[in-house]
Structure 1
Amino acid sequence: MESDRQGSDLASDERYHALVRRRSRFAWGLSAVMLAIFFGYILLIAFRRDILAMPIGGGVTSLGIPVGIGVILAGIALTGVYVRKANREFDPAFDALRREYGL
């Protein structure tokens, strides 16, 4: 199979470009979700502070604390989603192409 690929370059393989495009679209999509969550939280702080200041559970803790923790956990979860997809789909496909080209 390597003899079929002599003179060819992985960087010019359309399958490689398609895989890079899919990975990039996925990463940008997750980034957009995280930005929407983060900026939504910041906008809530800027314009509806009263919502985040509401006490919860009859104590002194306000709603802003669990919502802020939720923003952090969303970032961790989205990172986990990316890592899972990369490990299951993107990395094996890249490895298969590298092996095909003897890299």
Structure 2
Amino acid sequence: MHDEIYKKIENDPRFQQLVKRRQKFAWTLSLVMLAIYYTFIMVIAFKPELLAIPLSADTITTVGIPAGVAIIVSAFVLTGIYVHRANSEFDDLNAVIVKEASK
């Protein structure tokens, strides 16, 4: 019985579209995160003096500290964006497909 439902779902064009959209979205967010990390590493490798600039004249905190924090925060933000879209758009469409396949 479950095999029939699985085959119905797998053959549903809306499910195939859902899989493609979800993969495209996940890859896009992954590439954005990769670009952020790659840029940071390239700055460290070729222009480390940019990260060594103090935030102000009377502090020892450099530009590198907020840049590193921004990279970590960007990972959380991108994860939040994915979770929001998955919980709204992707899950709603998935529920409709499963419901119709179970009939």
TM-score under structure 2 normalisation? 0.89
For structure 2, list consecutive stretches of 5 or more residues without a partner in the other structure.
none
CA RMSD of superposed structures (Å): 1.7
In the TM superposition, what whole-angstrom CA distance separates every residue of 1:14-42 from its partner, at most 9, and x where no partner exists? 11001100010001000000000011001
**Fraction of identical pairs, as percent:** 41
Secondary structure (helix, strand or coil) at the match of 2:24 reads helix
Q: How does 1:21-36 map to 2 (within 5 A)?
A: 21-36=20-35
Structural mapping, 1:1-80, within 5 Å? 9-58=8-57, 59-80=59-80
1:101 shift after superposition: 1.0
In the TM superposition, structure 1's runs of 4+ consecutive aligned residues that sit over 3 Å from their partners are: none
CA distance in 2, matches of 1:101, 1:57: 62
**Counterpart secondary structure, 2:102:** coil
Letter of the structure 1 residue corresponding to residue 70 of structure 2 = G
Supply the AA of the counterpart residue of 2:15: Y
Separation of aligned partners in 1, 2:74 and 2:21: 22
Rounded Cα–Cα distance in structure 2 between residues aligned with 1:87 and 1:10: 19
Give secondary structure in 2 for the equivalent of 1:75.
helix
Number of the residue aligned with 2:92: 92
Equivalent-residue separation in structure 2 for 1:43 and 1:91 (angstroms): 38
Residue 12 of structure 1: how far off its partner (Å): 1.1
Measure the CA separation in 1 of the matches of 2:91 and 2:26: 14
Instruction: Give the corresponding residue for 1:83.
Output: 83
